[in-house]
Amino acid sequence: MSQIIEHIVLFKVKDNVDSDKIEAMANDLKNLGTIDQTLYLSAGPIHRLISPLGFTHVLHSRYKSKEDLNAYVAHPVHLRAVEEWMPIWEDVMAFDYIADIVPGSLTPPPRSVGKITLLKVKENLSDEAKTEIMEVIKEKSAGADQITVGLGQTFSPVNAKGFSIASVAYLKGLGETEALQDLVKEKVGDYVDGIIVVEFVVPLSS
Q: Which residues of 179-198 are buried (b: 16+ CB within 10 A; e: fewer)?
A: ebbebbeebbeebbeebbbb
| pLDDT tens-digit map of 160-188 | 888 889 999 888 766 555 556 666 667 77
Rounded CA-CA distance 169/185 in Å is 19
For each of the domains in the chain, give its residue range(s) and CATH number, in order of start. Answer: 2-200 (3.30.70.100)
Q: Does residue 155 carry a pLDDT above 80?
A: no
> pLDDT value at position 31?
95
pLDDT tops 80 at residue 69 = yes
The predicted pLDDT at position 194 comes to 87
> How would you classify the pairing of strands 5-13 and 57-63?
antiparallel
Smallest Cα–Cα separation from 95: which of 139, 148, 141? Answer: 148
Q: Whole-prediction pTM value?
A: 0.89
The model's pLDDT over 22-64, given as tens digits with 9 standing for 90+, comes to: 999 999 999 999 999 999 999 999 999 988 889 999 999 999 9
